[in-house]
Chains A and B, each alone.
Chain A
C-alpha cells in the first residue's frame, strides 16, 4: 500500500510541476527571429586587433598586413557606426526598440 502511495505522490508532484505552464493560460507563440547567414563571428575591431598582433609577432607579411588593415579598418568603422546608431547618445547604453526615452539615464531620444 505504502509504495503505491509514495509512487502516486511523486508522480503527482512531478506532473503538477511540468503541467503548470499549460494551465497558466499563456498561449503565446515564441517570436520568429532570423539568424544572420554568416559564420564569421569575431567583430571587425577584434579582427583588427588580431592582425595587428599577428603582424607584431611576425606572422603577417608587411604587404598582407597593409591590405588587411585598410579593409578591416573601413569595415570596423562601418560596424561601429551601425552599433552606435542604436545607442543612447548621452550614456551609450543600448536603445530599446521604439523607445522614446533612454531606460538608463532618462534622456529623450529622437524619433
Chain B
C-alpha cells in the first residue's frame, strides 16, 4: 500500500500529462469527421512522434538543470543530412542511418563539451551552436530537395499489422534503448542529482560532469532520430529556420506540459512524450473545429504561456519569501 503511494507521488506529473493527452485526444477524435479510425491515429501519431523525439532530447538536458536551444537546429541539420545519405541499397541505407545518428551524437557532444568543459552558459552556448548547425544545414540544402529510401520510409511511417502506427513502436523502442538504460545507470542518477542540487551531488562524489556530458550527447542523438523521422515523413530535406525555431520552442512547451521541472532534477521522458503528443493534439484541435489556421501560432503561444504559468503555483506554498530566490 505504502509502496504504491510512493510510486503514485513520483509519477503524478507523468500521469497528469497522460491525462491531458487522453482528454485532448478524445475531444480531437470525437470531433474529427472521420472519427476514431486507424488512419486518424496514424496521422496523429506521425505528427506527434516528431515532437516527441525532440522533447525527449530536451528533457535529458533539462533534467540536469540546463537547456538546449539548439535541439531544433540539430533536428533540421540531421533532416538535411538524411536527405543526402539515407538512400540506395539496404547496406548503403544502413550506413546512412548510422552516419545521421552519429552526426546527431557529434552535435550533442559539441554542446556538452562546450557547456561542461568550456564552462560556458547553456543558453548562450546552444544559441551559438544552433547558428552553426543551421549554417551547416543551409550548406547541405540551400534549396529544399533530396530524397530518401522510400521502402524504409514507408515501413516506418505505416502501420504494423494494419493497426498500430509503426512510428509509435519506434518511439517505444527508442525509449527502451536510450532512456531506460540511462536512468538505471549511475550517470542517469547523477544527472538527476546534479539537477536537483549540484553541490550535494558533487559532495557525494557523483560523476556529474560525465553525466551532464552524456545527457547533452544523448540529446543530440535523440534529436537526430527526430530528424531522421522528419525525412521519412516528408521524403525531402529542407533547411527551414522557422521550423527549427518552432521545434525548439515546442520542445520546451512539451517538457513543461509533461511535468519536467525547468529547474532540473524532476520529471521523466515518458511525461515529456505525453506532453508532446498533448501539445500536438491541442494545436490540431483548431482544425477539427474549423477555425482559421491563421490563429494556430497565437493559440499555441497562449497554450505555452499558460503551461509555463502553471509552474508558478508552487509560489503559494512558499512560507518564507527568501525561498523565492532559491
Indicate whether A and B interact: no
Q: Measuring CB to CB, which residues of chain A are less than 8 angstroms from any residue of chain B?
A: none
Q: Measuring CB to CB, which residues of chain B are less than 8 angstroms from any residue of chain A?
A: none
